[in-house]
Amino acid sequence: MAQYKTVLREAEDDFVEKRSRFIGYAKPVSTEEEALAFIAEKRSKHWDASHNVYAYILRDGGIMRYSDDGEPQGTAGIPVLDVLQKSGVTDVVVVATRYFGGVLLGGGGLVRAYSHTASIALQAAGIVTMRECLMLRVVCDYSQYGRVAALVPECGGVVDDTVFEERVALCFHMAPEDRGSFDKKLADATNGQAAAEETGKKYFEFCE
């Protein structure tokens, strides 16, 4: 079963540590261009910040990047990246912005602060499991529509679209392991008159 973890939405959270303010931003991305654009956006927004540290991981190409942005080497970017790796997320970018408050945190303090910044950003964004689902389409008569429409959620699928023309076309997605059960029940419900056609595959937040 193909699946991966990422974040659900763009979000932020912040906290203060010894008068330094840390703001964590997280966002789901699918390309390096999207990640870099998000980093540039936050750097522009917080042009007056002491540091705009970042890290991102992408499924495509297994890319991992990070930056300490002026903090002592190994105290900022790597801790942020480490949180992403330990959380098992990918296709995500995190920016950790710091406004220095005049009190030095020391190497260990910085590592803890940036790790916490990344953690609260991920929590705010919501970690979700994305599963690869089958995109399916069933065309049936109006007399069969009610039963077919009920079968989709009954077998773990989710209806994405319904087109009412001369006949009814239901477009939906479901986990690959639910396909066999659905096909059997569909054949029984329509006396073999309707069959599901696979139109592709796509990742969804849920297939249940």
User: What pLDDT, on the 0 to 100 scale, is given for residue 60?
Assistant: 87
Alpha helices of 63-156 — where are they, by DSSP H? 77-87, 106-125, 142-154
- Starting at the earlier edge strand, list the strands of the sheet with 51-57: 11-17, 20-28, 92-99, 51-57, 64-67
User: What pLDDT, on the 0 to 100 scale, is given for residue 61?
Assistant: 85
The 8-class DSSP code of residue 89 comes to B
Mean per-residue pLDDT over the chain, rounded: 93
CB 114 within 8 A of CB 91: no
CB 22 within 8 A of CB 16: yes
- Domains in the chain, start-ordered, CATH in brackets? 3-125 (3.30.230.30), 131-204 (3.30.70.240)
Count the Cβ atoms, other than its own, within 10 Å of residue 70. 11
The alpha carbon dihedral of 8, 10, 11, 17 has a sign of positive
User: What pLDDT, on the 0 to 100 scale, is given for residue 206?
Assistant: 62
Note the pTM of the prediction, 2 decimals: 0.80
Distance separating alpha carbons of residues 110 and 180, to the nearest angstrom: 53
Q: Is the pLDDT of residue 208 over 60?
A: no
- Tell me the average pLDDT across 57-66: 93
Q: Is the pLDDT of residue 80 over 50?
A: yes
Q: Which amino acid is at 32?
A: E
User: What pLDDT, on the 0 to 100 scale, is given for residue 3?
Assistant: 87
What is the per-residue pLDDT across 1-46, written as a single tens digit (0 to 9) for each? 588 999 999 999 999 999 999 999 999 999 999 999 999 999 999 9
- Tell me the average pLDDT across 101-108: 89
What is the per-residue pLDDT across 133-150, written as a single tens digit (0 to 9) for each? 999 999 999 999 999 999
